[in-house]
Structures are given as structure tokens and as C-alpha cells.
Structure 1
Amino acid sequence: MFEYHGWVTVRESTGDDEDGRLARIVDELRAYVAELASPYLLDLRRMNGEPFIHLGGHANHRSPDVAELLAHVGAVAPGSYGLVHVRDDEDPGYENEVRVLRLVRGVVTVHTETLLSPCVPALEDPYMP
């Protein structure tokens, strides 16, 4: 089982977008998102003039697209930031944890989400045969 929920604020840089590069970046990201053709939640839209990506899904197996999407956004828009919570019961050593992919200043890092981990007993009861 691979469950994920997250958001990214898309920014061209950590400063002001003075020459309109953000509009071109958003157009490129819109095409990239369309190519992924996810059957789950994957949405790039503007809210109050600012571009955001929202994503979520629940698949039978791990999808590398989630981490690749964050890395791609960080590469083309290094001022972007966001979090994606991931639960992957096939991730060796982390089967009982919710992990957080963090995008900040073009870099994706992975952390344990202590508010939801360990999944058993925080989210679910132990299995009793």
C-alpha cells in the first residue's frame, strides 16, 4: 500500500519574480503534470494568483513519480517549498512509519512524521490473529 498526500507552493526563486519567469515555469510544470497522467489527485492551479500543486493517492504499490515530481519542481523552480506525507508498507525499515518528503530551496529531504508514527499503534491496532 502506498498512500500520499501533499502540496507544493511553486516559486521561481526565494526572491521576487521580476521578469515573469514564473509564468513560463508554471506552463512547463503544467505540461509535466499532464504527462504524468496520474489517476489520483494531481493538480496545478493558481489560488489568489499564486501557483500550487496538490497531490494525493492510494495505490497498491510505491510510485516513484511522487519523489520525482518534487525533485523536478525543485530543479526548475528552486524557490518552491512543500510537504508530501507518504505511507509505504513496502519501504524496508520504514513499513510502520509515515514519512515526509520536504522540498525547500530545490532540495528534497525525507523525515519521519512523529505525529503519525509508528502507524501501529498510533493509527491502527496491532494485528491479532
Structure 2
Amino acid sequence: MIEINGWISLESSTDGEDKLTEEVILIINEIIESHNSFNQYFRILSINGNYVVQIALNHNHNLGYVEMVNDLINDICKLAKASYGIIYLRDDENEFDFNMFKILRIAKGQVSYENDKLISPCNPLIED
């Protein structure tokens, strides 16, 4: 099973002064809507004048979904360079990390992978 859940706060500058243009929001929305399908959704929410991308995906097998989400995040961060967020990823078919979540940390538009310590190892913390 592949499970990916998280959010990205869309930002154009780290000082909070510059807001994303409506044109950039529309482009990002087109990019993420092209990825919506069965068992996965991506959407932009406008909350108090700020924009947040929500990501939720759950499939039986990883058929390139991790790479697709990585590409999507990188595309978003090229347009919104100061974006930040957290995405949790679990691939129970990965021979090395099958029992843990990985965290994709987005900070200032850069993505890094971190090992989760809050709900990993999955067995015994969230599974028997």
C-alpha cells in the first residue's frame, strides 16, 4: 500500500509581504487538478487570504505515485518559491522502509526527506 497525506502552504516570499498572484494560483490549480483521479485528490483551499494545497493519496501499490508527488511538489515550488509544508509518505512495499513513514519537508520551496518519529515504526505504534 502507498499512502501520502499532507499540505503545502503556498507562499511567494519569506517575509510575507508579497502575495501570490491570481494567475499563479490558477496555474498551480491546473497542475494539481490534472492529478486528481480515483483514490487520490489534490486541491487548493483559500483560508483567510492564504492558499493551501491538500494532498491525499492511497493506492494498493506504488506505480510511480511517489515520483509523481515529488514532481508535483517541485512544480508547485518553482511557482511559489517560499512555500512550506509537511507530507507524510508510507510505502509498505519498500523493502527498507516498509514499517515507517517518511516526511517530505518543504521549507522555502526546497524539499527534503526526514524519518518520522511520531507514528513510526508503524508496528507497534499504529498497527499490531
What TM-score do you get using the length of structure 2 for normalisation? Answer: 0.87
Whole-angstrom CA distance in 2 between matches of 1:109 and 1:51: 22
Aligned to 1:54: 54
Provide runs of 4+ in structure 1 moved above 6 Å.
none
Aligned to 1:67: 70
Whole-angstrom CA distance in 2 between matches of 1:57 and 1:21: 26
Q: Deviations over 1:33-56 (max 9, x none)?
A: 122233323111211111110111
Aligned to 1:108: 111
Does the aligned pair in 2 maintain the 1:98–1:116 contact within 8 Å?
Answer: yes
SS in 2 for 1:36: coil
5+ residue gaps, structure 1: none
Aligned to 2:25: 26
Aligned to 1:82: 85
Q: Establish whether residue 10 from structure 1 lines up as the match of residue 13 from structure 2.
A: no
Give percent identity, aligned residues only. 28
Whole-angstrom CA distance in 2 between matches of 1:22 and 1:59: 34
5+ residue gaps, structure 2: none
**RMSD (Å), alpha carbons:** 1.5
Whole-angstrom CA distance in 1 between matches of 2:12 and 2:22: 9
Whole-angstrom CA distance in 1 between matches of 2:71 and 2:80: 14
Q: Establish whether residue 95 from structure 1 lines up as the match of residue 98 from structure 2.
A: yes
SS in 1 for 2:86: strand
Whole-angstrom CA distance in 2 between matches of 1:3 and 1:116: 14
Does the aligned pair in 2 maintain the 1:12–1:25 contact within 8 Å?
Answer: no
Whole-angstrom CA distance in 1 between matches of 2:43 and 2:115: 25
Q: Deviations over 1:32-88 (max 9, x none)?
A: 112223332311121111111011121112212222221111221111000011111
Whole-angstrom CA distance in 2 between matches of 1:30 and 1:97: 31
Aligned residues: 123
